[in-house]
Amino acid sequence: MSKPVKAVGLLSGGLDSTIAAAMLMRQGIEIQGLTFYTGFCVVEHNRRSKTRKRKKPVRNEALQAGAKLDLPVEMIDISGPDYLKVLTDPKYGYGKTVNPCIDCRIFMFRRARQYMDEIGAQFMFTGEVLGQRPMSQRRQPMNVIDRDAELDGLLLRPLSAKRLPPTVAEEKGWVDREQLGDIQGRSRQKQMEMAEEYGIEDYPSPAGGCCYLTDANFGRRILDFFEYEGKENLTMDDVMLLKIGRHFRVKPDVKVVMGREEGENKFLERYAPGRWRLETKDVTGPTTLVEGHPTDDDLRQIAGMTVRYAGSKADPDTPVACRYEETERILEPAPVEESVVEEWRI
């Protein structure tokens, strides 16, 4: 008996990639799932930092899809300086916010191709649908992505295959093109019907917006960082902080990050070393981190802001503990007008 053809599937665990995998499994293809950790996934971040009660546990959908379909999933960490260059210097620019979707795809597909070669798979596939997303899933950008990622026709998009030129997997007869999809556009109706046909239940609601880089608030914060701190200085620690809490630019060299709830406060504590950390004494309030070089007056104003966001439990003159590494002092907060706070807000 000949060995089954093996393919690497980029698996987010969303409906489209799960169906794409199921389609190929039905054709007898052996699948190795692959998912990337970029540090920009909204769901992943919420899993880490939020304590608000949820109706359902927040899951890693790629792992869940692998478990449901009984296929192995490899997780590869691509967060780091090389991936950050995609964000700071994208060859193909940004979408509506600071989303370098085309460059990001090229980066991921190159890495997937490398992984495919490492494990001896014959081709790779995604759950992409032609015309579903405005930046990276149109015909022309898809061609650019395939070319720049040097895929050599080895990427199959099973859901839209009949609307795209045949790939190596179809030409070599590894998969039957006739059994592949001809889906185009943003409607998910066809995919939902297919999910029923394949017995795929309990899939995450199709949403998009799962990447911080497409989020307008995050985009503002990134651009603020580029302007005041220089995009060449961006690190993954900065990215982690940009995703969380309230942000205020007090002065060009002083920025404040403030937790909005217990989970965020705990998350911020991990980033306190090397930064000023302010917290209200005796009453519950936000954890406030200060980056840069604040003066004593700055710190007293930031203490005032910390008290303001502590809510009704704190009086305006509630003392604030201000720590830097091993030193601690207690500050009397300076009053801060709402209009000033709004002016500082990023």
Partner 1 sequence: MIQAARTLDTYGLLCPVPIMKTASAIREIAVGEVLEVLADDPQILEDMPAWCASNGHALLDTIEDGEEYKLFVKKVK
- In the complex with partner 1, which residue's Cβ is closer, 58 or 330? 58
- Nearest to partner 1 of 143, 235 (CB atom): 235
CB count within 10 Å of CB 260 equals 16
Give me the least distance between CB of 331 and partner 1, in Å please. Answer: 30
Region for 231 from its dihedrals, namely left if φ exceeds 0, alpha if ψ lies in -120 to 50, beta otherwise: alpha
| Minimum distance of partner 1 from residue 77's CB (angstroms) | 6
Give burial (CB, 10 Å; 0-12/13-18/19+) of 181: buried
User: At its nearest, how many Å lie between partner 1 and the CB of residue 155?
Assistant: 22
In whole angstroms, how close is the CB of 43 to partner 1 at the nearest point? 11
Residue 168 CA to residue 122 CA, distance in Å, equals 9
**Tokens representing 49?**
């930092």
Structure tokens at 157: 């998009």
Q: Which is nearer to partner 1, 75 or 341 (CB)?
A: 75
Q: Which is nearer to partner 1, 77 or 317 (CB)?
A: 77
CB of 58 to partner 1, least distance (A): 8
Distance, CA of 35 to CA of 37 (rounded, Å): 7
Nearest to 235 by CA among 82, 132, 54, 55: 82
Binding site for partner 1 (CB under 8 A): 33, 37, 44, 47-48, 57-60, 63-67, 69-77, 270
Q: Which is nearer to partner 1, 33 or 141 (CB)?
A: 33
